[in-house]
Amino acid sequence: MISVWLRVIRVRFLLASVIAVLVGLAINWSQNITISYFDAILTFAGVMALHASVDLLNDYWDFKRGIDTKTTRTKMSGGTGVLPEGLLKPSSVYRAGVVFLIIGSLIGSYFVITNGILIAIILGFAVISIYFYSTKIVDSGLGEFFVGVKGSMIVIGAFFIQSGEVNLESVMAGIIVGTLSSLVLFIASFPDHDADKSKGRKTLVILVGKEKARKLFWFFPLIVYSVIIIGILFNLFPLLSLISLLSFPLVIKSGLGLQKNYNSVNDLVPFMSSSLKFSRITGILFVLSFLIPI
């Protein structure tokens, strides 16, 4: 049963939020050489709870709307398959999603009390957008935007909790992390195009069409690498942040694979996987660049 719950929570995708928190902590460490371990642990717990909540609620609503019964499930797309296979009750998944949302909100409320209005704004955005993500946001073509903003806010919030300030470094780092997460969602929406469209969803791929959307892929890594290089040129990021560019072969593989296989679910899987690896490796290397003294 535990393995089923871990599957529906999509544990391996939680790494995106882990990296986002780590980026905020790493920037603070590089600038202030201090860390509140209690606040860091609470930040991880709160962010993980909120991330689990959105995944659980998304699985619930995709099942209720009949999307998951129309998709071809792969290890990278098409939902977890837990509800269509009858491994858990829909009501149980929904309740678990709400419980995790409450847990994340309570932890966030502690930081509102200790750190003030900025955390209240971030928490308010998170709670509202998480609850309505699968019913309103993805039906408006704002899924990638939401994920990008979410990633940015995690970085900014984690840095703010530790340092008591928001600076240009944390904002630019947030853009990098948010864009990396958006890329994973973007390419994973290609296989689900027909099922999503038939049930009223409006992902970015649906809005512009697969043919044009495959070309949009390149804008994501362009934004990521451009912000990193600009940050280095203006002495906002350490020179070592250039190691983040070592992920370049992975994104080239993903982009070229998407151009050729955007209409084939099975053939696209390896390139969705490469995009996920690109996102995670770039994020991890970016974190390390703030921690390794040169």
pLDDT at residue 260, rounded to an integer: 95
d(CA 8, CA 54): 11
Q: What's the domain count of the chain?
A: 1
DSSP secondary structure code for residue 88 in this structure:
S
Q: What is the pLDDT along the chain (294 residues), one digit of tens a residue?
A: 789 999 899 888 899 999 999 999 999 999 999 999 999 999 999 999 999 999 999 999 989 988 877 777 787 777 788 998 999 999 999 999 999 999 999 999 999 999 999 999 999 999 999 988 888 888 888 889 999 999 999 999 999 999 999 999 999 999 999 999 999 999 999 998 888 888 888 889 999 999 999 999 999 999 999 999 999 999 999 999 999 999 999 999 999 999 999 999 889 999 999 999 999 999 999 999 999 987
Record the pTM.
0.95
Instruction: Look up residue 242 and give its amino acid.
Output: L
- SS3 assignment, position 115: helix
Angle, helices 143-163 vs 37-64, to 10°: value is 160
Q: Please tell me the distance from the alpha carbon of residue 100 to that of residue 98, in angstroms, as a whole number.
A: 5
Q: What is the domain range of residue 259? A: 2-291
Distance CA 42, CA 184 (A): 26
